Each structure stands twice: as C-alpha cells, then as structure tokens.
Amino acid sequence: MTKAADAIRVLLVDDSAVVRGAIGRIVDAAPDLTVVTTAPNGQVALDALKHVAVDVVVLDIEMPVMDGLTALPLIVARHPATRVVIASSLTQRGAEVTMQALALGAADYIAKPAARSGAGALQSLAVEIASKIRAIGRAARARATPRPPTTAPVTTASAPRPPRELLAASSEESVPRMLAIAASTGGPNALAEVLSGLPADFPLPILITQHMPPLFTSLLAQRLERDAGRPCHEARDGEPVLAGHAYVAPGNFHMLVLSQERQPFIRLQQTPPEHFCRPAADPMLRSVAALYGPSTLAVVLTGMGEDGRLGCQEVRARGGQVLVQDEASSVVWGMPGAVANAGLAHSVLPVQAIAGAILSRCGATVG
C-alpha cells in the first residue's frame, strides 16, 4: 500500500511477535499510518527513539529487560513530542497497570487483539486502534509544528458566540446546582487535575462520563477519590445523587440523572451506544439539562470525537453554562473543540484554570 507522505509514524513495543504482527497489520492497513520500527522491550525502544522519528509509541507493559512502566516515564521525559499509547489486556490486572500508565503520562490505551475474538469484534477493534493512533498522532504532530506568527491578539478565554436562540435562552445565568463532566482521550489526568483543584467541601454533586470499558471505570473512580479527597465511586442504578459526591458512569452503561419526589437519582441504561460509545456524554448531559435547566454547569475535557456537543447544545438551550478545555492542554481537541467550534462554550480554558472557573461560576473563591 502506498503511504501518505505525512503518515503518522508508529513504534510498536511488545515482547510477543504475534501481538506486534497483529497490531502492525492494523496500522499498515491505514494509508495515513505507518510502522517505522518495532522493539521487543522498553530498552530497545529507547535505543530506537534515538535514531528514528516517531509520533506514537504503542507500548506493552509486561516485557523482559525493561518493562513498559519503567520505559514510559523515560520516553515521556526524553521525547516530549512523542505520545505513548498503552497496549492493554481487558482484565483486572491489565486495567490496574493501564491506569498506572495513564497517571505516568500515557496519552491513552488500546485493547490488545485476542486470537479468540470473532471477525466482527476484531474489525471493530481494528477501527478503534487505528482511530486512536491517528487522532493522537495528528494532535502530537500539530503541537510540535511551529505556528506562523500573527499580529492579531490570541486568546483562549472565550469561544465564538453561540447562536442567537441560545443566547436568548441563557441571558440570565443561574448559580449551578449540578456539575457534569465529560472526557475521553487524556481524560483521567485532566479529571484528576480539575477535581483536585476543587476544595474538599465543594458542595455540588458531580457526574462524570469518561469513555472507558468495565473494570477501568471503577479504578478511575478510586483514583479520583484518592487524588481529590472527596467521595467518588462508580455509579449504581437507583442510588440517590448526594451533595459533595462524585459519580463515574460505569463501563458499558449510559448514566442519567432522574428525579422522584424531588430526589435526584442515578439511572443506568444500556440503550444503544452514541458516537460509538457507552457510556457517552450526550445522554448524561441531556438528562442533567432536563432536570436542572439553568442550574447546570457542564465541563467538556480532552477527548476524541464529538460526544458532548449535542448535550451541551441542550444545556445552553435550557440556560445552563458550559466550560471546555483548550487545545493546547488537551491530548486531543476533539470533544472540547466540537463544543467550542459550535459556539456553545462560555469559556475555553487551560485544564489548570478550569477548577477556578467552576468555583467562580458557583460563587466561590479559589483557595
């Protein structure tokens, strides 16, 4: 296959030749992706990176000589323009080490192809692997490419103005009573940054939809509770929504909030995926907007695709407020970019500034 001249350059690191071959075939089947070299362990990968330009490293964890958790921080430190994607097995052990890797600086993860998977599952997995590598590689390359100088002032403080009908619906902003956060690629670290910036006595309930499969979402909730020092757990169907608590949508379920006798509660659903995701942010945001109306504060963090755009449109239509992460601090500016480019965001901010903006809009002071 003829490759594009600007194809995303990939380094595959795995001690299994079978896995390297399986992922390599997926990468090389895409005209805009190319495997430039492979390595059987982390040390060989580090040596290769001295001599070969690479956009994305696909990194296994358990390898001889130097494992992935040892190699990862070295790659991040020595090659800051290169992004690392973890090749993970969807098991409890695989989820645990993948979450460690994300905390150490990995951009995202992909599931390892399994020989026993059916043809349909393998095809779906191949699409996901290629899509993630492509999006992360393009974002990494764009960030590393110097932008032409401009004499116009540059600001990330606000997005384009929303359509007239949305401005009319939200001219009088209410104090938020619910915080709903959406994230995908790069989300775990961004979520930890935002939640850690909120005080322990932050009173709003927080609903979180992060694109992740089962096992991973429960570990994410544990990490966020530890890092942010607030109650946080994987949501359970029918449980009440309590002030000061954070709820993570479990893998394979959309998370909604409904109300019975004026008491909000969680509803988990396995309705069809949206944007190829379950959980997806749009169902959560629609339900929050319907229940809380102008008292909704939605935040869209780094992630691939456009999930969250339609939900934020509903939030704005009902008078709620929307904040999004800026491109410079996002691993991939897909989800927040879609919201910002649609003119739905009140503010477009570096991830480090989002907690302060939340507190400001809730009438609190930072610190």
Q: 268 near 239, Cβ under 8 Å?
A: no
Q: 361 near 321, Cβ under 8 Å?
A: yes
Instruction: State both tokens at 311.
Output: 């939900």
DSSP H or E run through 182? strand 178-183
Q: What's the helix, strand, coil split of the chain in %, to 5?
A: 40, 20, 40
- Nearest-angstrom CA–CA distance, 12 and 104: 19
Distance between first and last Cα of the chain: 56
Q: 354 near 360, Cβ under 8 Å?
A: no
| Adjacent-strand bridge partners of 303 | 333
Going by C-alpha positions, the residue among 166, 184, 188, 164 that lies closest to residue 322 is 166
- Nearest-angstrom CA–CA distance, 110 and 15: 16
Angle between the 42-49 and 68-78 helix axes, to the nearest 10 degrees?
Answer: 20
Which residue matches tokens 């600001």?
155
Q: Which residues are catalytic?
A: 184, 211, 307
Distances (CA, A) of 162 to 95, 178, 305, 344: 40, 22, 20, 5
Which residue matches tokens 């970019």?
337
- Nearest-angstrom CA–CA distance, 304 and 324: 14
